[in-house]
Every structure is written in C-alpha cells, then in structure tokens.
Chain A
Amino acid sequence: MSKIKNIIDFEIIWKKLHNVISKDEENILKKWISEENTHSEYYKNAENYYSKGSTFDEKPENISTAWKNVASKLQYKRKFGIKHLAYLSIAASIVLMLALVFNWNNDEPKIANLTENVIEQGEKKAKLILDNGTEYELLEGKDLLIEESGVQIKSNGTTIEYNSAKNESATLRYNTIIIPRGGEFSLKLSDGSRVWLNSETTFKYPLWFNENERKVSLSGEAYFEVVKNVNAPFRVQSGIQMVEVLGTSFNVSSYEEDSIIFTTLVEGKVSVSSLHNPEVKQTLNPNNQSLLIKNEGIINKRKVEAYKYTAWKDGRFYFKDERLSQIMKTLSRWYNVEVIFETQNAKEMKFTGDLKRYEKIEKILSKIEKTNEVKFELKDKIIRVK
C-alpha cells in the first residue's frame, strides 16, 4: 500500500515549476521529494531544465564520442567487418562501371527501328479550360482571341497572354491549362509573370490577382519568371508543397508519380514549405535545390547547377550523372512513349549528356547506345531497354 502511495504524477511537479500548485499538492510534493535521493535529484533536474532549457549540446564531436562508445560495445562488429568491406568494394566497383559518359556530338542513328511506327517529338500544344468550363485546343499555328470576365485572352499557338483590364472584382476566376504528354506551352499571367509548362502538366491560375497575393497551383513541371511585387507574394502550390517568392526565376518539378518535389532556384530568393507542417521549410539561394520527400514530409536542400533543371525550357535535355530510369521517364513524357526495362540493372546506370529536345527520339537513343552499355528496341510506341 505504501508503495502505491508514494508514486507522484508529473503534473504536480509541473504545476510547482510553473507556480500554479495548490497547498495540498505542494504538501504531497514536499513529502515525495524528501522520501528518496532519487526523487530530490529528479526534481532538481526538472527545475533546471524548465528554467534553462535543454542541456544537450549537439556538437558533432559529442555524437562521435557517443558512436565510439556504442561501437566498442558491439559484439558482432569484428565478425562481420570483413563481409562489410567486401560489400563496400563491390559497391564501389559497380559505381565505377556505371559512371559512363556518352558523347552527344556525333552522327547518324543506327538504332534498330523495326516498324513503320514513327514517334513524333513533342510540340507546342495545350488545352485551355475557362472558368465557365469551355475548352479550347491550343496548337502551334492556331491563333485565339477570347474574352472572359472582362479579361482579354490571346494566344498565338505557342504562348498565351492575359491582359487584365483592371478587374478588381473580389471573387477570382480561374483558368486551367493542361499540357499532354509530348507537349509544352508557355503563358504570361496578368501581372506580367511568365510561366513555361512542361509535358504532362496541369496549371491553374486566376485571370487576375488580388492586391495582396498571387497564388497559382501546379501539378507537373514549370519554370517561373515572376515579376517583382513586394506587396503581393507569388505562391505556387504543388501537392503538399508551397513555394513563396516576391520576384524571381525558379523551376518546380512536382509530378504526382514522383516521390520527390524538386524546386530549383535560378535567381532571387524563394521559400519552400510543406503544407502539412509550415515549420518544415527551406530558404533557397541561387543554384540551391530543395527536395521535398513526400513520404517523409521533410525538405532537404542541396547545391546544383540550376541550368541542368531548367534546360528543358530552352529546348534541351541536360543530364548529368542521371540514372537511366530518370532519363527514360523524362523522354517518355516528351515523346509520349512507354518504357519497359527488361534488365533492372540498366535502371541504375548513370549517363551524362546535353541533347536537343526537338530531335527524333531514335537519335537520342542511339547516342546512349553508343556507350555499349544498353540496347534499345523500339516498337509500337514502346521502348524496351535491354
């Protein structure tokens, strides 16, 4: 019975430390503290923690010391050390073998294209959906001039422009542009900001912006050149990510099937945060890229060559040490083909190259084939990687 009696609830300690304890509780606490040394010590430590905060010093050397201590106590370490070494050296040699560079400068394709089936490269095309649901096909060489809610919408078939006639109505009206596989398009928003949209992308934006915010949403990939307006931050929502800028150039790649949202800054400054947790946040400087890992809800940051990630808007593919699986994903979106890997190893091979987007896919594939690491077979809009 006495044992049960001297158990204290932390609530009482907490109340004491925050000066909201009652007389009765204070007596219970006093008695408890006096009972054992471990009790008084705990109370003292708690008091210290609540007045001064954490005492843990996150210095790297402290963590290394802790690691050494743990490592020295492991029984299995020796036994498996050798296996581990072997594993590492195999891994290292695989990496060496795969880090191949293919040459993109020279000549004619020698790929085995067994069918009549011609694969077209991507082109400027898009579908525009107005706020009232009306749809228009936008295609190179096709002009369009319409008006919605007092806003003039003009397209020459490669780009679309909004000229806001100062429509300050409180309720925003939205348009949506859908870029199919094998398409790209660009637009100029009512504030003058320009947006390039890559294949398989959906972009939703208002016909005009509020005075204090410019908000758009994106699924897929887009490059932004935002006109500066310190009073109205420009916000791009894509999936669970929010990017906020005042005026700058950046690229967002946020495909639903990808597990990571990439945001790459060319110039200016942007802030990237998670909608799930606004505390999860990164500020990017030029040539920084953030990676929002969707499953984990965390955002990492790294230094990159921004050019690599925005080359698409200038009509190029630029791959640097890129995994073949990623390269093929990019190509499949632009050429609207399916890709089947018959050897899974090929997915992990890495290639480097700078290629033209407006070029036949056979040419690109043959350049990769020249490294003698993989073979492609093209049939019925399906690429088999062997």
Chain B
Amino acid sequence: MKIEEQVLLNELKNRNYKVYEALFYDYYPSLIRFAEGYVFNRQVCEDIVQSTFIFIWENVNKIEITSSFKAYLYTTIKNKCLNHLRAIHIQDKHNLLYLEATLNSHDTSKIEDPEILKKIDIAISELPEKMANIFKLKYLQGKKNSEVAEILQVSENTVKTQLQRAKFKLRKLLAKSTAVNFIL
C-alpha cells in the first residue's frame, strides 16, 4: 500500500472528521454516477453510496483495506449494486453494467481494474474518428445526446446510431483483447 494511503487510513482510524468529510466530497459525485450505471435510480444510488460512507466511519477499525481506499470504495459500491440487482432478479453476466457504471462515473482513473480501462482506451482509438468523438463526449465527458449533437453539429439520431455502432465495434475489439467477455 502506498504511504499516502496508509496515512489516510490512519487518520480515518483516529476518526479525523475533517479527512472523512474531505473524502466524502471528493468521491461522492463519481460514486453516485458509478452506482447509477448499475441501478438507474437516483434514490437507490444515494442510499447505497451514503450507507457505504456511514459504514466506513462506524467500522473503520474493522475494515481490512489491502489495495487502496479507492479500490475498496468502488468494489464495495459495485457489490452493493449487484446485491440490489439480484434482489430484483437481474444479473450482469457479461459485465455490461460494470462498463456502463465505469463510463458513467467519469472517473475512469479510479476504477479497480486499470487493465480493462487501458484496453477500452486502445479500443476507442481504433474506432473511426467521428464515432470515437461521439463516444468520448458521451461517456468520458458525460454529455447528453442532445449536447453531443450540438457540439458536433449532427442530428440526435446520428448520435444515437453512431453510439450504437461504436458499442458494437468496441465489443468486438475488446473481445479480441480481453479475457473478460464484454458485451457493450
């Protein structure tokens, strides 16, 4: 574990409230978006993320964090989302929702598997330029379809179809390069 991480955890274990608050402000928005990409429901997202933070504060001395605080947060939220989905009879065999969540978090630097991200990056770079631009605006910058359409001066319909094709192409490209069976 990195030294800064260790310092951070020690501060939390000493119940440094300021550090805890700063972490909350730092991570909350991207965690909410991450959860949103799984459950698509604002209230459920907020419950999941907020209860995770409360749990951390109350149980910080019992939590075992071996990799990094970030990885711990994202993995916890992911598992909670999957639990929620299981309760309403949905599974994510192909990591489709995981990818959606990752892209929606706009925080691709913070996801737990940098290898997958790198592969997504490479795959995006292999798309035709127009398609890649649309995809990046939508998923890496979080623009709405209508905004993407305005920025690139194309119709919303074009954006939609291009995104769809982009996802299909990416699926193919990723299938070649990863062991994880992605279906975009």
Q: Which residues of A contact B (CB under 8 A)?
A: 6-11, 13-14, 18-19, 32, 35-36, 38-39, 41-42, 45-46, 48-49, 51-56, 58, 63, 66-67, 69-71, 73-77, 80-81, 83-84, 87-88, 276-280, 295-298
Report the separation of the CA atoms of residues A14 and B167 in the bound assembly, to the nearest whole angstrom: 11
B150 CB-CB contact with A under 8 Å: no
Chain B min CB distance to A13 (Å): 8
CB A35 to nearest CB in B, in angstroms, measures 8
Complex alpha-carbon distance, A231 and B40, angstroms: 46
- Looking at the assembled complex, report how far the CB atom of B68 sits from the nearest CB atom of chain A, in whole angstroms: 10
| Contact between chains at B91 and A9 (CB < 8 Å) | yes
User: Does chain A have a CB within 8 A of B65?
Assistant: no
Q: Does B162 count as interface, using CB distance less than 8 angstroms?
A: no
| Contact of A54 with B142 in the complex, beta carbons under 8 Å | yes
Interchain CA distance A14-B117 in the complex, whole Å: 21
How far, in whole Å, are A13 and B183 apart by their CA atoms in the complex?
12
A276 and B118 CA atoms in complex are apart in Å by 8
Task: Determine if A277 and B15 form an interchain contact, defined as CB atoms under 8 angstroms apart.
Answer: no
B28 A76 Cβ-Cβ under 8 A: no
Residues of B within 8 A of A81 (CB): 17
The verdict on B126 contacting chain A, using a C-beta distance below 8 Å, is no
Cα separation A84 to B11 with both chains bound (whole Å): 11
Binds A, one of B72-80, B92-100, B172-180: B92-100
- 11 A/B residue pairs, CB under 8 Å, sorted by A: A6-B89, A9-B91, A9-B94, A10-B94, A39-B89, A48-B40, A53-B142, A54-B33, A80-B15, A277-B109, A295-B2
CA distance A237 to B32 in the complex (A): 35
Nearest CB of B to A50, in Å: 9
User: Which of B45, B57, B138: most chain A CB closer than 10 A?
Assistant: B57
Q: Which of A7, A39, A69 has the most chain B CB atoms closer than 10 A to its own CB?
A: A7
A56 and B90 contacting across the interface, CB-CB below 8 Å? no
Contact of A58 among B4, B29, B41, B167 (CB under 8 A): B29
**How far is B139's CA from A309's CA once the two chains are assembled, in angstroms?**
37
Contact A277 B90 (CB under 8 A): no
Task: Select from chain B the residue with minimum beta-carbon distance to A15.
Answer: B183
Chain B residues within 8 Å of A, Cβ to Cβ? 2, 4, 15-18, 21, 24-25, 28-29, 32-33, 36, 39-42, 45-46, 49-50, 53-54, 57-58, 85, 88-94, 96-97, 104, 108-109, 117-118, 121, 136, 138, 140, 142-145, 164, 167, 183
| A80 nearest in chain B by CB position | B15
Question: Are A11 and B96 in contact, CB atoms less than 8 angstroms apart?
Answer: yes
Contact A76 B57 (CB under 8 A): yes
Point out the residues of chain B lying under 8 angstroms from A296, CB to CB. Answer: 109
Is the beta-carbon distance between B25 and A67 smaller than 8 angstroms?
yes
Assembly CA distance A55 to B15 (angstroms): 33
Interface pair A53/B144, CB less than 8 Å apart: yes
Residues of A within 8 A of B108 (CB): 277, 279
- Bound-complex Cα distance A71 to B142 (A): 29
CB-CB < 8 A to A13: which residues of B? Answer: 90
Given contacts A76-B57, A77-B17, contact A63 B28 (CB under 8 A): yes
Report the Cα distance A58→B33, complex, angstroms.
Answer: 9
Q: A54-B33, A56-B36 are in contact. List 7 more A-B contacts (CB 8 A).
A: A9-B91, A42-B39, A42-B88, A67-B28, A83-B15, A277-B121, A278-B121
In the assembled complex, the Cα of A75 lies from the Cα of B15 at a distance in Å of: 12
A342 to B4, CA, bound (A): 23
Q: Which residues of A contact B89 (CB under 8 A)?
A: 6-8, 32, 35-36, 39
Of the candidates B2, B29, B41, B92, the one whose C-beta lies within 8 Å of that of A45 is B41
CB-nearest residue of chain B to A49: B40
Cα of A55 to Cα of B44 in the assembled complex, Å: 13
Bound: A32/B89 CA distance, A? 9
User: Bound state CA distance, A77 and B20, in angstroms?
Assistant: 11
Query: For the complex, what is the distance from the CA of A132 to the CA of B21, rounded to whole Å?
Result: 58
| A7-B40 contact in complex given A70-B54, A279-B140, C-beta closer than 8 Å | no
| Shortest Cβ distance from residue B142 to the other chain A in the assembled complex, whole angstroms | 6
A80: which B residues are within 8 A, CB to CB?
Answer: 15, 17
Residue of A nearest to B15 (CB): A80
Most buried by B among A9, A53, A77: A53
Q: Could you say which residues of chain A place their CB within 8 Å of the CB of B167?
A: 18
- Contact (Cβ within 8 A) B50 A70: yes
Smallest CB gap from B92: residue in A? A10
- In the complex, A6 Cα to B109 Cα: how many Å? 36
Instruction: Kindly identify which residue among A6, A10, A42, A56 contacts B33, using a CB–CB cutoff of 8 Å.
Output: A56
The complex places the Cα of A35 from the Cα of B93 at a distance, in Å, of: 21
A372 to chain B, nearest CB (A): 30
What 7 A-B pairs are tightest by C-beta distance, nearest first?
Answer: A45-B40, A38-B88, A53-B144, A80-B15, A49-B40, A84-B17, A7-B89
B145 touching A53, Cβ below 8 Å: yes
